[in-house]
Amino acid sequence: MAVRTPDSGFENLERRYESVARLVPYLLLVVPFIPYVLSQAPSAGAIGITVGVAAAAGAWVAWMVVLHPGPPRRPWQGYVYFAGLLVFIAVLTFRSPWFAFFTWIGFLHAGQYLAGAWDDVLLTAEQGFSAAAIHTRRYELPLLHLAAGCVPTGRGAAEEAERHARLAEEAAGSLDYGQEKLYAAMARALVYQAAGDYLGMADALGHWQDDAALDGRSRAYAVLWRPLLIEGLVGSGQTELAATVLDQLREGHGQVGYLRPGLAWLEGWLAEQRDAPEEARRIYSGGEESASAQSPVYAARLLLAHGRLLRRTGQRRLAVERLRQAHALFQALRAAPFIARTEEELAACHLPGNPAKKKQSVLALTSRETEVAHLVGKGLSNPEIAAELFISRKAVEYHLGNVYAKCGLRGRQELRRFVEQWRQPAAV
């Protein structure tokens, strides 16, 4: 069954949410004026300058959001927009620390990961790191490392993901804020997720299982971290705790449109763990009916879980249909660990083999990706590869992510072994 955009009331809810989200940057420009005027008592001239800068920042945001809605058609548009945004953030924060709230525009991009715009996530995180470095705002680092690490994690760049998780933990450890420690825990849980370590996921987020112990911010952002906790609990066999946290997620965020396929996936998987395959299949099928194309990550996880259940219950044709849909979604995201899991399920369906598959993966690499792969095979680190090819470290990470996804690899060690196979002479 194909995933479609729902025509229910949730679509209207999503549209209303998007309308509110468009207003947030302007509110973050207007509201700080009150404490700015009351606490700093600026002159009329200073107020006029600040008003002018804020108005220009608002016009800049409108240029992208209103005149160029959706992902930039040309890469330079995105870079120009974020560069200009960084300048406005720096100038406004210099004029008054109250305008630091404008940097929270980055939270508008928090849904990019689940919406499938993973390259945009990297661009947003890079912009955030630059702003944090300029203003020495260490409290932003755990969130930024979470954002910067989620894409390498999803694409199989384990070393880069581990580095960001470690830096998030170090930054959070130097702060007294509970929410920042939660960001670091999410970064660590994502690393465990890519490795299939469900107990590690549950342990990383175990501190936040008790709903009564949560502060306001942790509860508000539960829509992002509770699915990870539930996945860890279900996968590690802690079904009673998983059911409790799932009820909390459903009660607090069950009406969020993009979360619906995620809820169906987690509820169905929990039913499987409780030896109720028919109930699980009913939940999966219902989730597919309401799944939105705007949530490819959860839609793909739902299709993968449903396909796996169908295969295990002997319904191979229906299983292959869903597994191929999941594979296409994961392939579009270049989500190497999940591509590998989907291909394992497809292989278990005993489909006819494709002897040209491995060679096709190599031929699909661009010349730059091939160069990066060969240098990894020689044992060079990312900084050494960047110096060798005269490109940035970020560019090396980007090309590595493509190589992992195209070749179905999970990390650097597998890539080295894969490159060794290239060098071996073909059998005759």
Q: What is the pLDDT of residues 234-280, one digit of tens each?
A: 999 999 999 999 999 999 888 887 889 999 999 999 999 999 999 99
Could you give the dihedral angle defined by the CA atoms of residues 183, 260, 310 and 229, in that order, rounded to the nearest 10 degrees? Answer: 20
Tokens 């195209």 sit at which residue?
A: 406
Q: Choose between 148 and 108: higher pLDDT.
A: 148
Quick one: residue 383, left, alpha or beta (phi over 0 = left, psi -120 to 50 = alpha)?
Answer: alpha
* Cβ-proximal residues to 221 (8 Å cutoff; 6+ apart), any chain: 179, 182
Q: Is the pLDDT of residue 323 over 80?
A: yes
The answer as to whether 127 is a domain residue is: no
Whether residue 414 sits in one domain with residue 341: no
| Residue 7's pLDDT band (cuts 50, 70, 90) | very low
Whether residue 248 sits in one domain with residue 166: yes
178-195 vs 158-173: helix crossing angle, rounded to 10: 160
Whether residue 373 sits in one domain with residue 389: yes
* Cβ-proximal residues to 139 (8 Å cutoff; 6+ apart), any chain: 175, 177, 180
What tokens does 312 get? 């295990």
Residue 406: per-residue pLDDT: 81
The answer as to whether 128 is a domain residue is: no
Whether residue 26 sits in one domain with residue 16: yes
CB 396 within 8 A of CB 371: no
Q: Is the pLDDT of residue 380 over 60?
A: yes
Q: How far apart are CA 278 and CA 313, in angstroms?
A: 10
Question: Lowest mean pLDDT: which of 5-19, 113-127, 148-162?
Answer: 5-19
What tokens does 252 get? 């607090």
**Long-range contacts made by residues 69-73, C-beta under 8 angstroms, separation at least 24?**
71/117, 71/120
The answer as to whether 374 is a domain residue is: yes
The answer as to whether 428 is a domain residue is: no
Q: Percentage of residues in the chain with pLDDT exceeding 90? A: 30
Whether residue 27 sits in one domain with residue 91: yes
Determine how many CB atoms are found less than 10 A away from the CB of residue 350.
10
Whole-number Cα distances in Å, 353 to 310, 345, 346, 350: 21, 13, 10, 8
The answer as to whether 346 is a domain residue is: yes
The type of residue at 171 is A
What tokens does 101 get? 């709230």
Residue 34: per-residue pLDDT: 79
Whether residue 388 sits in one domain with residue 330: no
Of 323, 351, 379, the residue that ends a domain is: 351
Helix, strand, coil distribution of the chain in percent, nearest 5: 80, 0, 20
Q: Is the pLDDT of residue 371 over 50?
A: yes
Whether residue 241 sits in one domain with residue 144: yes
Sign of the torsion angle spanned by Cα atoms 389, 393, 399, 401: positive
Q: Percentage of residues in the chain with pLDDT exceeding 70? A: 73
Whether residue 263 sits in one domain with residue 337: yes
Whether residue 233 sits in one domain with residue 157: yes
The answer as to whether 23 is a domain residue is: yes
Q: Is the pLDDT of residue 354 over 60?
A: no
| Residue 221's pLDDT band (cuts 50, 70, 90) | confident
Tokens 């120009």 sit at which residue?
A: 80
The answer as to whether 175 is a domain residue is: yes
Whether residue 204 sits in one domain with residue 176: yes
Q: How many structural domains comprise the chain?
A: 4
Q: Could you read off the pLDDT of 283-308 as tens digits, one per residue?
A: 999 999 877 666 888 999 999 999 99
The answer as to whether 115 is a domain residue is: no
Of 306, 329, 351, the residue that ends a domain is: 351
Which CATH number do you get for residue 378? 1.10.10.10
Whether residue 90 sits in one domain with residue 19: yes
Query: Structural domain of residue 385, as residue ranges?
Result: 361-423
Whether residue 260 sits in one domain with residue 326: yes
336-348 vs 316-333: helix crossing angle, rounded to 10: 160
Residue 293: per-residue pLDDT: 64
Q: Could you read off the pLDDT of 85-108 as tens digits, one per residue?
A: 667 777 877 777 776 655 555 444
